[in-house]
Structure formats: structure tokens, C-alpha cells
């Protein structure tokens, strides 16, 4: 029988894999992709809690739609910034971006 | 029983693909693995009876975000050139911190008493309900989301478009 625990543990594992990616990737695009993993872990959590705890009002799923919207906008802007940095410096490695470091 | 088997199937796909997304040496392969992960999440949404969200997941994430990421990867890096190192030297601390994160959250979840709060219902399609709510209770956030998307669209164009005068300077 599927329980809430299954989904929560799955989302925790996915979340921590995303954290690992954010912390270890050098490539800025890789960091953005790891962020997508984190957002998806949150989405699984939202929908699972919505299904098991408050099935009558589906606010969890509505919230997931807004999370997806904002995550998409964030990813588009992040990729645009990465492209602009690449134009300027020919590098997209996060540990070499020191333009604003004093 | 079928549900359980399907859950473990999708969970295995998600976790394996997510690990390869994170550790893959080639960033292009990593983007393809990300697509597989997002597809697995869509499968999990189907198991949770959120069919509309599963459709959105495939359309927006795999159809737009992953494709956009692949575009940017091909624009910023020579696929055929030699591969640069993709990970920094923080692998061990990162591993420790994410294992701590797993331990912390799972122990918190196991200590919580969910049994009294879980409400069992029959599976149903909630798409019509979502549509109703989006245009009644949530109409303001809905409009804000559309404005946000417009701003992101214009902002991305402005950031990426080349300014001829600045380029020569």
C-alpha cells in the first residue's frame, strides 16, 4: 500500500541529490539543472501532502502550478544571464566568475 | 500492489537519472539525464492522481526547460572539444552535508504521527477543480504569474540581445 512516507522519502532523496549538484558543479548551467531537481522534489512533496492530508481542497496542486511557473521564469532568466556572461568572458564556470568579487 | 510496483519503478528511474544528472562528466549528457528525471516525476504525479500536473510537467519541463538548457549548452561550449573538469573540490563536504540533510528530514518525518491526519479518498480527476479554483479563488496569483512570465520573457531578450555600442567599447 502506498503511503505518504514513500513520497516524502523519495522527495528527500531527490532534494539532497540536487543540493549535492548545486554544491559541486563548476558549470553554471549544471547548477541551474540541479536547481530544477530541487524544485521537482518540492513539487512531489506538495502534491503528495495535498493528496494524503487535504484531499478536499487541492491547494497543494495549485501551488505546484505556481512553483512550476516561477521555476521556469527563473530558469529562463538564469540561462540568459549565463549566455551574457559567456559573451563577456568566454567562461561559464562558477568558480571563475569573480567580476563582483573585490 | 500494482501501484507499489509502479512507484518503485518510477522512483528508481528518478533517483538513478538524478544521480547521473549530477555526476555526469559531460554537461550535455547531464541535460539528457535531467529530461529522464523530469519524466519520472511526471510518472509519480500520475500515481498521485494529478494528471493535469503530469501533463504540465512533460510539456513545460521536458518540452521547454530541458530543450532551452540544451540550446544554451550548445551555444556556450564546444561539444566536440576536450571536456573541462565539471566538478569542484568540495565533493566530500557536499556529500556529508546532503547526507546530513537526508538524515535530518527523514528522522523528522518518521517522528511525526501522520496516521491520525491522513484522509483516504477515492481516486478522481481533479483537473476541472483546478481550473475552477484558478479562475475564482486564485485569480489574482494567476494574473500575477502571467505578468511574471511576460517580465521574464522581455528580461531574457534584453539580457541576451547584443548592444552594438557597448560591444565595440
Of residues A38, A30, A5, the one with CA closest to residue A92 = A30
The residue-averaged pLDDT of B91-118 equals 87
9-38 in chain B: CB under 8 A from chain A:
11, 14-15, 18-19, 21-22, 27, 30-31, 34, 37-38
**Which pTM was predicted?**
0.89
Terminal Cα-to-Cα distance of chain B (whole angstroms): 67
Distance from C-alpha of A10 to C-alpha of A16, rounded to nearest angstrom: 10
Distance from C-alpha of B107 to C-alpha of A5, rounded to nearest angstrom: 11
Distance from C-alpha of B75 to C-alpha of B68, rounded to nearest angstrom: 11
How many angstroms separate the CA of residue B82 from the nearest CA in chain A?
A: 14
Query: What pLDDT is recorded for position B164?
Result: 56
B35-87: pLDDT as tens digits = 999 999 999 999 988 899 999 999 999 999 999 999 988 888 655 555 677 77
Residue B139 has pLDDT above 50, yes or no: yes
Those residues with Cβ within 8 angstroms of residue B68's Cβ, 6 or more apart along the chain or in another chain: A75, A76, A79
* Closest chain B residue to A22, measured at CA: B22
Amino acid at each position: 500500500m502506498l503511503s505518504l512516507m514513500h513520497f516524502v522519502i523519495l522527495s528527500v532523496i531527490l532534494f539532497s541529490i540536487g543540493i549535492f549538484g548545486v554544491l559541486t558543479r563548476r558549470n553554471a548551467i549544471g547548477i541551474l539543472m540541479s536547481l530544477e531537481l530541487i524544485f521537482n522534489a518540492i513539487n512531489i512533496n506538495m502534491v503528495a501532502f495535498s493528496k494524503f492530508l487535504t484531499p478536499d481542497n487541492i491547494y497543494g496542486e495549485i501551488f505546484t502550478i505556481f512553483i512550476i511557473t516561477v521555476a521556469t521564469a527563473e530558469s529562463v532568466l538564469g540561462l540568459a544571464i549565463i549566455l551574457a556572461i559567456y559573451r563577456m568572458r568566454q567562461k561559464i564556470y562558477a568558480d571563475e566568475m569573480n567580476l563582483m568579487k573585490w | 500492489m500494482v501501484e507499489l510496483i509502479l512507484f518503485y519503478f518510477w522512483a528508481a528511474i528518478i533517483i538513478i537519472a538524478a544521480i547521473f544528472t549530477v555526476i555526469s562528466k559531460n554537461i550535455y549528457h547531464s541535460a539528457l539525464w535531467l529530461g529522464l528525471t523530469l519524466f519520472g516525476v511526471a510518472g509519480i504525479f500520475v500515481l498521485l492522481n494529478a494528471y493535469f500536473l503530469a501533463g504540465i510537467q512533460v510539456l513545460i519541463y521536458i518540452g521547454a526547460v530541458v530543450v532551452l538548457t540544451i540550446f544554451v549548452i550548445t551555444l556556450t561550449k564546444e561539444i566536440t572539444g576536450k571536456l573541462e573538469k565539471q566538478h569542484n573540490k568540495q565533493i566530500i563536504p557536499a556529500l556529508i552535508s546532503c547526507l546530513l540533510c537526508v538524515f535530518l528530514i527523514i528522522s523528522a518525518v518518521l517522528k511525526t504521527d501522520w496516521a491520525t491526519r491522513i484522509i483516504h479518498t477515492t481516486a478522481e480527476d481533479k483537473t476541472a477543480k483546478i481550473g475552477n479554483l484558478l479562475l475564482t479563488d486564485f485569480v489574482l496569483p494567476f494574473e500575477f504569474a502571467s505578468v511574471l512570465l511576460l517580465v521574464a520573457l522581455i528580461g531574457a531578450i534584453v539580457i541576451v540581445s547584443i548592444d552594438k555600442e557597448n560591444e565595440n567599447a
